[in-house]
Copies of this chain bind each other. A is one copy, B any other.
């Protein structure tokens, strides 16, 4: 049995670090293969189509917030369940063949990485032009040729693409973490966390009060609430909730029954465990 695990590529992204961590968790259950995709949406769709077994996709960063494409795709693809959560520390480096920061005219990276380093860039490369890319590693293959261009990516990516690191870490906040979900089509009832989402029959966020009261009365802690537009009309929202409880608990089952009666559409994404992974360059160096 070979498990195919998809992630946002090309090689060297933080998503690949998370996928690699999940691959290690599957050790002993079968062979594993990591497959890069050009977008988060394509990774998720490949999993929903059963072209691959798992999608390892970012859901939330501690600085930039929710990854909306992941939430929206999970809502729209009813056969997907969350198998696991991975928390990965994000530590950005500036990769360049330039000899000094002052010679940098262009800095490329994913918009979230550019956002997470904006103060550092303002202080150290105030004149550099910031150019968004589809992943932190998209342009790394082209960086060997220039001496006025840099990219923001991980130290691991610098190692993979054989590029010098001129500064590290450059994140504005040292407490920078991304939470990834492993999505698959297997039903998952066990685990410390449960995620769900719902739309409301009354199109007013005030109607969120009743679902929150149901959780509060059952002593279920919420670790996250995020709203997304229904895409039907301005001012109509879905709400994504993460519960610190398992579907295997009676209080959760009872609360979900009560939620059924006060929501319009209720989607339950399963229960799962979470683990934290510090990437260790020396292990791969």
Which residues of A pack against B, CB within 8 Å?
A: 41, 60-66, 68-69, 87, 111, 115, 118, 132-134, 173, 175, 177, 179, 204-206, 208-209, 212-213, 215-216, 220-229, 231-235, 237, 241
Question: B111, B179, B212: which contacts A208 (Cβ < 8 A)?
Answer: B212
Q: Which of A65, A208, A225, A237 has the most CB of B within 10 A?
A: A65
**How far is B208's CA from A111's CA once the two chains are assembled, in angstroms?**
30
By the criterion CB–CB under 8 Å, are B133 and A231 in contact? no
Given known A212-B212, A213-B209, A216-B209, contact A177–B234 (CB-CB < 8 A): yes
Q: Return chain B residues, CB-CB under 8 Å to A115.
A: 69
The CA of A223 and the CA of B236, in the complex, are separated in Å by 9
Task: From the candidates B205, B224, B231, name the one contacting A173 in the complex (CB within 8 A).
Answer: B231
A224 to B175, CA, bound (A): 29
Q: How far is the CB of A281 from chain B (nearest CB, A)?
A: 22
A105-B65 Cα distance, complex, nearest whole Å: 32
Bound-complex Cα distance A237 to B118 (A): 21
